Amino acid sequence: MHKFKIIGGVVVLAVVILCGCVVIFPKKYPDVLYKEHDVIKIENRTINGVKTAIVYQVKTKIGDRTSPYGLDAQSRKDIAIITYYVFKNTDVDEVQIICYYAGNGGIQPYYKFKIDRRDAELSGLLNVSENELPSATLYCMDKLLSLGDLWVNKHLTVK
């Protein structure tokens, strides 16, 4: 069992280092995404004619969840803040967030979230200033999640 934890730790470290070496931080994305919201890479792609930003996160800690289908509070906040900054700083039409949990000696998918610009605007999130963002995440979060497409790994084991 101890060997698996060591091997898992080495794998996680290798992935983080490789991603860090490969990622060229685009100037259009604020450093706060990388420093405070566990973002390791952002890819800009065109998928079926839609300009899309794919944001990759790796979390090492996940807080309490109300159900196996739910997100912890920090992840809910991360979704709103990442969505806000990507749409505010680019001209993409869609944001996809793919989050992994790197704990328990391995990497597991935690959640995937996808939303288009129109639905993000309808949530009210994109109508606030950067100073209002912390409080706006509380008011806009439920609507943002309901307008987007969210998948949560119900089999995720967190210790």
Residue 70 has pLDDT above 80, yes or no: yes
Say whether domain 31-152 belongs to CATH 2.60.120.
no
| pLDDT (mean) for 107-111 | 94
In whole angstroms, give the CA distance from residue 128 to residue 96: 21
What are 26-55's pLDDT values in tens digits?
A: 446 777 888 888 899 999 999 999 999 999
32 or 5, which is more confident = 32
Q: Which of 1-10, 97-106, 117-126 has the highest mean pLDDT?
A: 117-126
Mean pLDDT of 101-126: 93
Catalogue the E-assigned strands of the chain: 39-47, 50-59, 94-103, 106-116, 149-152
Return the bridge partners of 50, or none: 47
Measured CA to CA, the distance from residue 79 to residue 136 in angstroms comes to 12
pLDDT at 21 over 50: no
Residue 18: band (very low, low, confident or very high) from pLDDT cuts 50, 70, 90: very low
Domain residue limits, the chain: 31-152
**Lowest pLDDT segment from 11-20, 40-49, 55-64:** 11-20
The residue among 153 and 23 whose pLDDT is bigger is: 153
What residues pair up with 42 in beta bridges, in sequence order?
Answer: 55
Lowest mean pLDDT segment, chosen from 49-53, 57-61, 64-68, 134-138: 64-68
